[in-house]
């Protein structure tokens, strides 16, 4: 297996996007922006990771300008003068440290709980009003007017990202949130043009990407984060075969996606039987677009254990030889880390300097302390 860590520190250039290395900070929800406004502590949090050597930061999910988008009043908004002013400072601080940064635009769909401030009476919105496979209708099934309004909100958010100086924008289409709910047949049981076949279920995603592309112009980088697994079902798959995945990805590429952020719980697991390629590897092979791999990178445990809650409590640094071998084989282009960068913001610098033994382990208690 390859042990050449210099692979992680090669520059990456794709169109107008130029990164100093291949290391990406994965988006991680923090709920530390009271009333949706990111403060100085948020700017310091991201700047510290840029200072530690991360090439690209993708922010935590930020709520678009739709009343049902956010799951918490402490999730940062991506609209309104106060919130956007806070994000402008985040961009300034990250750029001052030599980093690049994308915001992740987010709508949680049916994951929103009734009674969530500031819109206490707004239910979760989703394709069919269903929160879990086989469940009864508990939220608001979206009308075509709702769909149009939500797409407009994504486009406004993307336009704001460009105006604020972000280096690109990412759409969250993974993990059983709104865009992913439209893609997933278990939750999308519509009988109109947005439901039914794979192509029809992808229409909401396609129109959202197209609207974002129109809002930011032809040269502004658009990333799409997608997954097969869902919070509601770890074993779910939108695409059961490479052919189905090819169909889905072609729709996204034609709509305007430049970069795919391919979320797996374990990056080292093959996506389909008969090939060692992971989801990012298949996506790159099928689209020729650059891909980001993510999922327990640099850790000896996955994010959440199916059989216990122990998988999220702590994680020690792990040997990254398997990751480096896949990177050397050009399976993917970029590598996203989450908890590793909470455990130690200096992870990139220490790896580059051959000080992997000095990397601090992640522990859940860090989420409540000053380290983050």
Given the residues 45, 125, 177, 194, the one annotated as active site: 177
- Please say whether the beta carbons of 45 and 345 come within 8 A: no
| H or E element, residue 246 | helix 242-255
CA distances from 75 to 72, 144, 306 (A): 5, 27, 26
- Please say whether the beta carbons of 318 and 362 come within 8 A: no
Q: Which residues contact 20 (CB under 8 A, 6 or more apart)?
A: 9, 11, 55, 98
Residue 116's Cα: distance from chain center in Å? 23
Q: Is the dihedral of CA 125, 126, 129, 134 positive or negative?
A: negative
Task: Give me 85's structure tokens.
Answer: 């002013």
- Please say whether the beta carbons of 188 and 129 come within 8 A: no
> ∠259-249-158 over CA atoms, to 5°?
45
Q: How far apart are CA 73 and CA 71, in angstroms?
A: 7
177 is catalytic: yes
Q: Give backbone dihedrals phi and psi of 66, rounded to 5 degrees, phi first.
A: -145, 135
Residue whose C-alpha is closest to residue 102's, from 203, 263, 252, 216? 216
Q: How far apart are CA 159 and CA 88, in angstroms?
A: 13
| Exposure on the CB side of residue 340, measured as CA atoms within 13 A | 32
Instruction: List the catalytic residues.
Output: 177
């Amino acid at each position: 297996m390859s042990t050449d860590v210099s692979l992680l520190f090669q520059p990456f250039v794709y169109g107008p996007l130029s990164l100093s290395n291949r290391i990406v900070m994965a988006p991680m929800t923090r709920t530390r922006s009271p009333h949706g406004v990111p403060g100085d502590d948020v700017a310091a949090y991201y700047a510290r990771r840029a200072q530690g050597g991360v090439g690209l930061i993708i922010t935590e999910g930020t709520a678009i300008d739709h009343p049902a988008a956010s799951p918490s009043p402490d999730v940062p908004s991506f609209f309104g003068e106060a919130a956007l002013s806070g994000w402008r400072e985040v961009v300034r601080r990250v750029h001052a440290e030599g980093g690049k940064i994308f915001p992740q635009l987010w709508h949680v769909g049916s994951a929103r709980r009734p009674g969530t401030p500031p819109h206490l009476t707004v239910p979760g919105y989703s394709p069919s009003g269903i929160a879990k496979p086989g469940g009864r209708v508990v939220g608001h099934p979206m009308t075509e007017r709702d769909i149009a309004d939500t797409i407009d909100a994504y486009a406004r958010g993307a336009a704001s990202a460009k105006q604020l100086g972000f280096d690109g924008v990412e759409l969250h289409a993974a993990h059983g949130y709104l865009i992913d709910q439209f893609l997933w047949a278990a939750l999308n049981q519509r009988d109109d043009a947005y439901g039914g076949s794979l192509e029809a279920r992808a229409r909401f995603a396609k129109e959202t990407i197209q609207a974002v592309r129109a809002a930011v112009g032809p040269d502004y980088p658009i990333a799409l984060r997608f997954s097969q697994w869902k919070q509601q079902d770890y074993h779910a798959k939108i695409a059961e075969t490479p052919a189905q995945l090819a169909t889905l990805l072609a729709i996204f590429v034609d709509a305007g996606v430049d970069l795919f952020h391919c979320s797996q719980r374990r990056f080292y697991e093959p996506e389909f039987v008969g090939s060692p390629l992971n989801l990012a590897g298949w996506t790159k092979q099928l689209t020729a677009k650059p891909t980001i791999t993510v999922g327990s990178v640099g850790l000896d445990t996955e994010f959440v254990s199916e059989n216990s809650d122990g998988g999220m409590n702590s994680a020690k640094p792990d040997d990254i030889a398997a990751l480096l071998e896949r990177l050397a084989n050009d399976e993917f282009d970029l590598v996203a880390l989450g908890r590793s960068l909470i455990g130690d913001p200096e992870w990139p610098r220490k790896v580059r300097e051959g000080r992997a033994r000095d990397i601090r382990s992640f522990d859940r208690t860090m989420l409540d302390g000053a380290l983050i």
